[in-house]
Structure 1
Amino acid sequence: MPSITPRITLITLLCLPLAANATTLHRCQAEDGSVTFTTLSCANDEHLSLHEVHPYSPGSTITLLPEARHEETSGMKTRSREMNVAGQAQDKCGNLIDTRQRREAIINRRIIVGMNQQDVESALGKPDKVSLRNSSTTYRYDLKRGRSAQIDFDEKGCVTGKAKSRTAKSPR
């Protein structure tokens, strides 16, 4: 039967703290002010100071910032301010539709009031014909089977009214 003591000794050695991994570095400062860090000794004309370095070991925690001192901030007066929403997109079409409605319309290839020209092109692609009249723009899409779609935009580039869809006359 093998002895248990070598196993216990091995486990004990593996569980020792990792403080033995610390390394001593020599900080050598020359007369001209240049500094060199080394594990060897310094030259005769250099000033020597020793520094102990503990390498990072996985699983250990190192505090980078000191803890906050709450007693210093308790005397400060706080002013109440009006709440602002940061990061809310302001749509040039007046936020008539939210992002969920916009996304569903683009995926389902539908055009609804409040979409801009980029949204329409994301849903249907590049138009077959673009007409500019006064300050309004019209996109025309010639769809399959003689059908067409016309989308009107206002001066801001937003869809107005409802997208008109009609069947073109057959060439026969």
Structure 2
Amino acid sequence: MNKLIAGSCCALLLSTAPTFAASIYRCSDAAGNLTFTRQGCPIDQTAQIQEAANPTPSSGKAVPLAKSKGRRKTPKEESARSLTVVGAQDDGCGNRITGSARRDALIKKQIHPGMTRTDIESTFGTPDTVATRNGQMQYRYSNAKGRTRTVTFDENGCVRGKR
């Protein structure tokens, strides 16, 4: 008899549908700070009950993540806004090379006109020799096969282009 009662209690417990929603309290204080809790809000804060639905994946109808508010702007309205650049970074070399081209060159160990000495040193390390000729600095790098690579900088410390 006890086994029958225990079995039917287990069957009742297992047959109940799981709950996927909970009541959540949205508490806001005088400074506008928000807190979400399941225990309720302190007395000095305003409380608002929100239903939080957390369905199991593949349990049925899709739940939207966000609802759109108002109408969407047309491309004509978006292009009407103007762009104002407050400040731009100057690399000291006249910004002859863009940030993405600089990153690609550093990764591929390439040398492009407009790169700085810092770029070259971070890519190739400390030069084997440093020479100055006609007021221009030259870095020389040698590899194990005996090949040398010479990088010439202008008076601003920027890689010069080939003539």
How high is the TM-score relative to the length of structure 2?
0.50
Find the structure with the greater CA-based Rg: 1
